[in-house]
């Protein structure tokens, strides 16, 4: 029999019907409140119907017992479809006639009730989630309800994770195979270790899981050492960068001249552009002092000693001393050949670090870092 559509009265050029929408994510929906999220087209009335089915227990065939003596009525078909673990428990459960009884121990009655209600309508009350997020995380993992587990993890990441419950959440994230939540919680503990170690959760963990406490303390110590190491490396890099800039400024002064100082054949102009070398002013003052100091011998004056060191460092960096205009460059090159291995190694390490810090890979007047062999 031909299917006749409104678009084609004779049945030709049939237009296929619009496919049903994809199921939407679980919704934080309150009763008697219209909610639309994602691609979900489930009406509020349908959600309310599932909530009412659970609340009223119409023709319920399963009795769920909790630790505090509470009883929750549910339907085997709903539980079995929502959780493979509950399905297995129902198959093994004993009862009278068609009614069966199972137990969900280990958590409070209210948490079990919110958990079972979620299996019906995929809804939860935000206030209940705030209060019961940790037992709900345990239940969703233990009974394999990944949708609720993702919601619990997201709720904790979005604000329910606090310094007070950080240790409890960390332990549960390890037990419940929640690596992202575990990483976020661990970072919070590292950043706020002093406050976290003063909580009741930390004291309880010390008694029940001393090995875990030891691992956390070791990770805190490791993180602190890494932080100090990064600060040390950053400070070293700044020093090497300053030395490189000083070498650039020294060559600039001796080769091109800067403002009022430079080679003898340099013709200074009054309208010179501002110098672009950051270290130029400091090198200029050092050169002027070096030129006029009466204690110029190494070790006689701290400023002159620094100038001698800069001149030797330049000589070790200089690519072509025959064309170099920095004073004493060739003399220091000759001195390098007579130095002991220990001093030579120390200077080579310094030169390599300076070049690698700037990552220049060779410049018009500097040697390449690859040419330095330790």
The per-residue pLDDT for range 297-309, each reduced to its tens digit, is 656 788 888 888 8
Rounded distance between C-alpha atoms, residue 156 and residue 135, angstroms: 12
User: Are 54 and 34 contacting, i.e. CB atoms less than 8 angstroms apart?
Assistant: no
pLDDT in tens, 1-38: 343 333 333 444 455 555 445 444 555 554 434 344 44
Which helix (DSSP H) or strand (DSSP E) does residue 307 occupy? helix 302-317
Residue 291, classed as helix, strand or coil, is: helix
d(CA 57, CA 139): 21
Give the integer Cα–Cα distance in Å for 88 and 79: 10
Tokens linked to 191: 């950043």
The pairing of beta strand 71-74 with beta strand 62-65: antiparallel
Phi, psi dihedral angles at 82 (to 5 degrees) = -85, -30
* This prediction's pTM: 0.65
Top-confidence residue, 236 or 34: 236
Q: What are phi and psi of 48, to 5 degrees?
A: -65, -35
Tens digits of residue pLDDT in 242-266: 888 888 888 888 887 877 777 776 6
**Region of residue 240 (left: phi > 0; alpha: psi -120 to 50; beta: else):** alpha
What's the Cα-to-Cα distance from 260 to each of 202, 233, 277, 278, 284, rounded to whole Å? 67, 37, 15, 16, 9
- Per-residue confidence at 58, pLDDT binned at 50, 70, 90? confident
C-beta of residue 370 within 8 angstroms of C-beta of residue 353: no
What are the pLDDT digits (tens) for 117-142?
999 988 889 999 999 999 999 999 99
pLDDT recorded at residue 30: 46
268 within 8 A of 260, measured Cβ to Cβ: yes
Could you write out the DSSP letters of every residue in 76-115? HHHHHHH-HHHHHHHHH---STT-EEEE--SS-HHHHHHH
pLDDT digits (tens, 9 = 90+) for 141-178: 999 999 999 999 999 999 999 999 999 999 999 999 99
As beta bridge partners, residue 167 has: none
Q: How many residues does the chain have?
A: 374
Residue 158 has which token pair? 């979005």
């Amino acid at each position: 029999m031909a299917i006749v559509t409104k678009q084609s009265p004779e049945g030709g050029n049939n237009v296929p019907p619009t496919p049903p929408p994809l199921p939407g994510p679980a919704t934080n929906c309150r009763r008697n409140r219209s909610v639309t999220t994602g691609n979900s087209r489930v009406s509020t009335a349908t959600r309310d119907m599932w909530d009412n089915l659970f609340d009223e227990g119409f023709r319920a065939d399963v009795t769920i017992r909790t630790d505090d003596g509470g009883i929750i009525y549910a339907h085997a078909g709903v539980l079995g479809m929502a959780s493979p673990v509950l399905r297995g428990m129902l198959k093994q459960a004993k009862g009278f006639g068609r009614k069966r009884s199972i137990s969900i121990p280990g958590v409070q009655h209210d948490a079990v009730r919110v958990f079972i209600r979620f299996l019906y309508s995929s809804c939860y009350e935000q206030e209940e989630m705030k209060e019961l997020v940790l037992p709900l995380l345990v239940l969703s993992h233990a009974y394999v309800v990944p949708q609720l587990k993702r919601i619990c993890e997201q709720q904790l990441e979005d604000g329910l994770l606090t310094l007070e419950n950080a240790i409890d959440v960390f332990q549960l994230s390890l037990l419940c195979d929640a690596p992202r939540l575990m990483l976020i919680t661990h970072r919070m503990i590292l950043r706020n270790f002093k406050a976290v170690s003063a909580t009741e959760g930390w004291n309880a963990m010390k008694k029940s899981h001393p090995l875990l406490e030891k691992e956390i303390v070791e990770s805190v110590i490791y993180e602190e050492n890494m932080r100090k190491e990064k600060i040390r490396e950053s400070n070293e890099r700044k020093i090497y960068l300053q030395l490189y800039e000083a070498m650039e400024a020294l060559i600039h002064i001796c080769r091109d001249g800067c403002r009022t100082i430079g080679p003898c054949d340099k013709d200074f102009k009054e309208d010179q552009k501002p110098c672009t070398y950051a270290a130029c002013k400091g090198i200029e003052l050092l050169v002027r002092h070096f030129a006029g100091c009466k204690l110029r011998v190494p070790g006689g004056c701290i400023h002159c000693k620094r100038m001698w060191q800069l001149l030797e460092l330049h000589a070790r960096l200089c690519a072509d001393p025959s064309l170099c205009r920095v004073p004493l460059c060739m003399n220091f090159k000759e001195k390098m050949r007579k130095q002991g291995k220990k001093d030579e190694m120390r200077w080579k390490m310094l030169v390599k670090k300076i070049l690698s810090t700037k990552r220049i890979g060779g410049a018009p007047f500097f040697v390449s870092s690859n040419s330095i062999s330790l």
